[in-house]
């Protein structure tokens, strides 16, 4: 694989994922906040790898494959971890994981047969929504240790309106919708592949 700035940032995002997970489960008063910092750094690399790829004309087939894969590894690792920590329901995470694995598998199979799949802008919006809920949960988990008045209000707000549950439900529904939209947008290529 050709290592350029964009691909290096993508690989860095993948490499930061286990660090994030270790911190998430680490028993230390500030471990959740450290996990949040690592997650934010990893998420920022997603914006920059695309920027550098376009600016320096470094768009490669490996980059096209690795970039969304790195997003999925980071985001799904976080969501699965939250389910294990009993913060969000397993069934929501299961639907999100199924959608992402199905779409990724479909894209791999189609690409091997020479079919180019169209990725819509709505898919990037889906990832953004997932990142927002993950940051919200990490702030909730880490803010209990912060000596600020706003953290008490934030935690009370989360509990009173069950925000984590309903925000995750919203993200789950939107994620499933983007999966259906992806199949619909690529229906012609899928029909050609099946015929």
Per-residue pLDDT of the chain (195 residues; tens, 9 = 90+): 567 788 888 899 999 999 999 999 999 989 999 999 999 999 998 888 877 777 777 777 777 778 888 999 999 999 999 999 999 999 999 999 999 999 989 988 888 888 888 877 787 799 899 999 999 999 999 987 777 778 888 899 998 999 999 999 999 999 999 999 999 999 998 988 888
Q: What is the pLDDT of residue 102?
A: 94
Distance CA 145, CA 29 (A): 6
Which residues 6+ apart lie within 8 Å of 5 measured at CB?
49, 52, 56, 58
Stretch (H or E) spanning 71: helix 61-84
Q: What is the pLDDT of residue 165?
A: 97
Distance CA 52, CA 4 (A): 9
Q: What is the pLDDT of residue 55?
A: 77
Q: What is the pLDDT of residue 144?
A: 77
CB count, 10 Å around CB of 134? 25
Coil, helix or strand at residue 134: helix
The CATH code belonging to domain 5-194 is 1.20.120.1760
Residue linked to tokens 């290592």: 3
C-beta separation of 117 from 110 below 8 A? yes
Q: Is the pTM of this model over 0.95?
A: no
Q: What is the pLDDT of residue 121?
A: 77
Distance CA 118, CA 95 (A): 22
């Amino acid at each position: 694989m050709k290592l350029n700035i964009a691909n290096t940032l993508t690989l860095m995002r993948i490499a930061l994922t286990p660090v994030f997970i270790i911190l998430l489960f680490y028993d230390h008063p500030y471990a959740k906040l450290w996990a949040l910092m690592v997650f934010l750094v990893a998420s920022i690399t997603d914006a920059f790898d695309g920027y550098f790829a376009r600016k320096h004309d470094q768009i490669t087939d490996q980059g096209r494959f690795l970039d969304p894969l790195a997003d999925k590894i980071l985001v799904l690792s976080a969501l699965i971890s939250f389910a294990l920590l009993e913060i969000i329901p397993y069934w929501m995470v299961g639907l999100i994981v199924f959608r992402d694995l199905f779409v990724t598998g479909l894209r791999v199979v189609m690409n091997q047969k020479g079919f180019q799949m169209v990725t819509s802008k709505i898919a990037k919006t889906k990832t953004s929504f997932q990142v927002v809920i993950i940051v919200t949960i990490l702030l909730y988990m880490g803010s209990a240790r912060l000596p600020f008045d706003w953290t008490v209000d934030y935690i009370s707000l989360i509990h009173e309106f069950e925000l984590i549950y309903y925000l995750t439900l919203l993200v789950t529904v939107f994620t499933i919708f983007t999966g259906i939209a992806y199949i619909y947008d690529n229906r012609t290529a899928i029909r050609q592949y099946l015929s």
